[in-house]
Amino acid sequence: MRSTRSGVTAATLVGLLTSCPTWAAEAPHSSFSLLVENDVFYNTDRDYTSGVELAYTTAPNETPDGLVDFAHALPLMPDTGDVRASFSLGQDIFTPANTQLAVPPLDQRPYAGWLYAGLGLLAKDEQNLDQLEFQIGTVGPASLARDSQAFVHSVLGERKPAGWHYQLRDEPTLEITYERAFKLIPPKSILGLLFDIEPHVGAAAGNVYDYVNAGGMARFGFNLPDDFGPVRMQPTLPGTNFFEPTGGFSAYVFAGIDARALARNIFLDGNSFEASRSVPKKDFVGDLQLGAAIATERWRLSFTHVFRSKEYKGQPRSDQFGAVNLTFLL
C-alpha cells in the first residue's frame, strides 16, 4: 500500500511538472527597475555626475484600457501590439569640473539638478518598440540635488561641493520624449551564439531638452532575452526597463552609439525665464556605450560604460560614466 501511494504521488508530481508551463513561458510580467548612473566608477566628479531612477512597468494585461486606447490612437504609435505603462521617479545632478571653489568658474557648466516623475507608454510588437514618455518636474534648489550630493559625499568621506549657491534657479519642467527602435536584424545564430542589431530614431521637446537623435545597438551572446537592451536615462539610446526571458540563464555583451542634434539643453543654456549661469553648448553630441548583461527568468543585471563627447564649447575633456541597471520581474 505504501508503494502504491508513493507511485501515485510520483506520477502526479511528474504530471504536474510536465504539464505546467515554465515561469518564462507564462504571460509577460510587470517589472521593477533600479538604474544608477555615476562618474564615480571612473574617479571623476564633473559634468553629468549622477543619475538615479526608479521605475515600475506594467505587464501588457495590467495596462489600463484608457492608456492602451490612447497609445493605439497616437499617430507615432502602432495600432496593434502589446502596450505597457511605465511610472518613474528620477533625479539628475550636474556640476562644474572644479567643485571646491565657492564661486564656480564662468567657463564651466553650472551646478544643476533635475527631479522628475514620468509616465511612459511602451508599445512592442515582433519587430518594433515605440516609447513615448511624459515627464514633469523641477530644476533648481527644489530638485534636492544639492542635498543629495552632499549626503553621498559625506557617506564617502569626501569634501562637499562648495558652489551650489550658483545653481540654476527653480523652474518647473515639462518634457516629452519619443523613440522608435526596431530589429533590423532579429536574433541570428553565429558561432553557436546569437546576435541582433537594433537601430533607433527619436526626438525630445520641452523646456529641458529639445533634440533629434539616431543610432543603433548590437548584442552578442547566448539565450538573448526578448528586449531592446538595458535601460538608460535620457538622453541616450533606447533600452527597456522590462525584459521577457527566453528560458534559463542569459548572458551577452552589447555596443551602441547615439548622435543628437540639440536645440536646447537647460543644464547648459540656463533657465528659460530668468538670468542664470550658462555656457555655450555644442549643437551635436554623441554617446558610445559598451556593456554586458546577465539575466535569469526573474531578474536582469547590466553594466554600461558610456563615453560622451564634449557638450559645451571650452569643455576641456569629454566625459565617461557608468550605468548599473537591475530589473526584477514581479
Domain map of the chain by residue range?
A: 27-329
Three-state DSSP class for residue 108? coil
Nearest Cα residue to 176 out of 217, 199, 210, 153? 210
- Domain spanning 27-329: CATH superfamily: Outer membrane protein (2.40.128.140)
Q: Is the pLDDT of residue 8 over 80?
A: no
Query: What tens digit of pLDDT does each residue of 204-256 get?
Result: 999 999 999 999 999 999 999 988 999 999 999 989 999 988 888 999 999 99
Query: What tens digit of pLDDT does each residue of 118-162 get?
Result: 999 999 988 899 999 999 999 999 999 999 999 988 887 888 899
User: What whole-number distance in Å separates Cα of residue 314 and Cα of residue 24?
Assistant: 51
pLDDT above 70 covers a percentage of the chain that reads: 92
CB 29 within 8 A of CB 329: yes
Q: Is the pLDDT of residue 19 over 70?
A: no
Q: How confident is the model at residue 185 (pLDDT cuts 50, 70, 90)?
A: very high
Other beta carbons less than 10 A from residue 249's beta carbon: 11
Here the cell at position 75 is 499617430
Comparison of pLDDT for 196 and 17, the residue scoring more = 196
Here the cell at position 157 is 568621506
pLDDT of residue 140: 97
As a whole number, the mean pLDDT across the chain is 90
pLDDT of residue 41: 85
Place of cell 539628475: 92
Here the cell at position 180 is 522608435
Instruction: Enumerate the β-bridge partners of residue 160.
Output: none
Other beta carbons less than 10 A from residue 26's beta carbon: 12
